[in-house]
Amino acid sequence: MRPMRLTGYGPSVYTRAVRIALHELLCPYDWRACDPFEEEGRRGLLPLNPFGRVPILECGDATNGAVTIYETRAILAYLSATFGRTQTDALSAARIAQVQGIADSHGYWPLVRDVYSHGFFRPAMGEPADPGRIAHGLAAASPVLDALDAIAEEGRVLAGHDSASDTNPADWHLFPMIDAFQTVPDGSDLLSLRPRLARWHAAFAARESARATLWQPEAGT
């Protein structure tokens, strides 16, 4: 199999999702940092992704040859199907897709772009923050957290994990968003009110894949 190369942006929760999956599945890869918010960085991404975004996985094998995959869900689906170690029943597969859909459609903006960006990232980078965006994000986050907590209560996904074989794309995809959100004290307080989701987050945060992929402001891209 061709060595994998991941192109991504260090602070990106979507880049971290793919890095977590690669760590969990014990897949070695080369890392290429690229800032899609800078014009030069975005231009450099266009040959690999016509939308100029990250993450991007370059890989391949004897059957498919060299391939390039972008969009986080597509990358995670490929990695899970190729390197995953467990079979998933139909309802569990549906719950995985449901968690990913909730995260992308309803969670990303309030959790990450509002609360995390203005409550942690921008201040850490010396950039101006908007308290109104934090307040808006906290309000919009509550129904998202409630829905995810209910799914965690069912126990099919977002459950505690004893081994890498137990983790799946729902964990990989959602964890970086929740982890970013809870760096802001008010976000952490809201998470603590959803005990099942909070237990899942705490258990996953202790995993090597979570520790190895944690972005710090001084680490750059």
Residue-wise pLDDT for 54-107, tens only, equals: 999 999 877 888 999 999 999 999 999 999 987 789 999 999 999 999 999 999
Task: Judge whether 69 and 78 are in contact, CB under 8 Å.
Answer: yes
What is the H or E stretch that residue 209 is in? helix 208-212
Structure confidence at residue 85 (pLDDT): 80
pLDDT band at 1 (very low <50, low <70, confident <90, very high): low
CATH of domain 90-212: 1.20.1050.10
Structure confidence at residue 165 (pLDDT): 53
Predicted pLDDT at 65: 87
pLDDT at position 2 over 80:
no
Q: Where in the chain is the domain with CATH 1.20.1050.10?
A: 90-212
Report the candidate in 134, 138, 70, 140 with the shortest Cα–Cα distance to residue 102. 140
Q: What is the pLDDT of residues 132-173, one digit of tens each?
A: 999 999 999 999 999 999 999 999 999 866 554 579 999 999
Query: What pLDDT is recorded for position 88?
Result: 86
Pick from 76, 59, 55, 56: which is nearest to 3 by CA?
A: 59
**Buried/exposed code over 85-116 (b: 16+ C-beta within 10 A; e: otherwise):** eeebeeebbebbbebbebbbebbbbbbbebbb
Q: Within the chain, which residue ranges are assigned CATH 3.40.30.10?
A: 4-85
| pLDDT for residue 163 | 52
Residue with tokens 């996953």: 204
pLDDT at 64: 80
pLDDT value, residue 162: 55
CATH architecture for segment(s) 4-85 = 3-Layer(aba) Sandwich (3.40)
DSSP 4: E
Measured in whole angstroms, how far is the alpha carbon of residue 66 from the centre of its chain?
25
Give yes or no for residue 220 having a pLDDT over 60. Answer: no
Mean pLDDT of 194-207: 97
